Amino acid sequence: MEAAAQITPATGSESPSVAELTPGRAFRGRYACVRKDRLTARNGSAYLSLELRDRTGSIPARIFRDIDTVGARFERGDAVEASGRAERFRGQMVAELSDIRKVGDGEEVDPAEFLPAAYRDREELEGFLEHLAREVHDPGLRAVVDTILFSGPSAEEFRRAPCTRGGHHAYLGGLIEHTVAVATLVTELATLHPRLDSDLLMAAALLHDVGKTREFTYGAEIALSEEGRLLGHLQIGAEIIGAAASGLPEQRRTSLLSCVLTHHGTEALRLRAFPSPEAIALYRLNALDAQVKGALEHGTG
């Protein structure tokens, strides 16, 4: 059996983030391997073409030595420890690796090392969330919001989860950031349309994506949990809300669930119409924030 690989970094190497790498800088650090391909150079020799990522960005990487032995040590999606030197190749920064291995099973890995995170301050988002929750004046609905977002088993995960894996708010903390944005839009819309049930709409906005707290797993990449793959966040969210809302009057509980279940539209549920004006409002406000954020992050093409 092959002995555990020992990485010997280049002289003067450090553990810089991807964003800190400059041409000629030696490094040794832990990254996520998000791409791994075996390619052939012009001279006919094989090499490994990789992409390494941490929370600050990603960089293409290559290794030419002992690629069969080295390649057997890790797979795409693994957290890896790599050493080498950053160089400029055809106008692009590339990591020329001297060695790479998978981070051992016994070594602690924090997904926050590799996954992108929200730029907005967590305490600031927390303050907005608490303020918006106070806008739910109906005691029963407020109790459901408080249980799920501030004291229940989903509360901590709500602050860590992304909204998507590759779309809008696709980073740690994306869920709370998106929720705060949608709920803030609710305050403006409720002022313009005072006939809306603002308590119901605000509670639904704060809870509409709570199913995402169980939709993902975190490692070198954000992946779908088995529950997320089989059920999706709408069904998971309905289960979380249903359990917390068991003490609500049936009509109130049903109205809240109907808003949450239709916030991506009625087609998926095979309904011909939205169940309430509040459901229409949540659908539009959710789409507005998601589409604007997606365009800002990925462009409009």
pLDDT digits (tens, 9 = 90+) for 51-97: 999 988 889 999 999 999 999 999 998 889 999 999 999 889 999 99
Q: What is the pLDDT of residue 239?
A: 97
Any idea what the CATH number is for the domain that residue 190 is in?
Answer: 1.10.3210
Residue 73 is part of which domain span?
18-111
Q: Is the dihedral of CA 66, 69, 75, 79 positive or negative?
A: negative
Q: Is 127 a member of any domain? A: yes
Q: In this prediction, what percent of the chain has a pLDDT beyond 90?
A: 74
In this structure, of 28-42, 125-139, 171-185, 240-254, the range with the lowest mean pLDDT score is: 28-42
Question: Residue 65 domain-assigned?
Answer: yes
Tell me, yes or no, whether 197 lies in a domain.
yes
Check residue 10 and give its pLDDT: 40
Q: Are residues 34 and 149 in the same domain?
A: no
Secondary structure of the chain: what % helix, strand, coil (to 5)? 45, 20, 35
CB 52 within 8 A of CB 58: yes
Residue listed under structure tokens 């983030």: 17
Cβ-proximal residues to 244 (8 Å cutoff; 6+ apart), any chain: 144, 147, 148, 152
- Assess whether 39 and 184 both reside in one domain: no
pLDDT at residue 1, rounded to an integer: 35
pLDDT 10s digits, 145-201: 999 999 988 999 999 999 999 889 999 999 999 999 999 999 999 999 999 999 999
Contact between 80 and 70 (Cβ < 8 Å): no
pLDDT grade, residue 14 (50/70/90)?
low
Beta strands in the chain (DSSP E): 26-40, 46-54, 57-63, 79-89, 92-102, 216-218, 222-224
Residue 259 has pLDDT above 90, yes or no: yes
> Over 90: is that where the pLDDT of 112 sits?
no
Confidence of residue 118 (pLDDT cuts 50, 70, 90): confident
Task: Report pTM.
Answer: 0.81
Do 269 and 202 sit in the same domain of this protein?
yes
Domain termination residue (choose one: 78, 111, 144): 111
| DSSP secondary structure code for residue 211 in this structure | G
Please name the amino acid found at residue 3.
A
pLDDT value of residue 298 = 83
Mean pLDDT of the chain: 91
State which amino acid sits at residue 62: R
On whether both 171 and 105 belong to a single domain, the answer is no
Number of domains in the chain: 2
Q: Are residues 266 and 146 in the same domain?
A: yes
Q: Residue for token digits 């600031």?
A: 124
Domain boundary among 90, 111, 132: 111
DSSP E strands: which ranges in 19-125? Answer: 26-40, 46-54, 57-63, 79-89, 92-102
Q: Within a domain: residue 13?
A: no
| Residue 6 domain flag | no
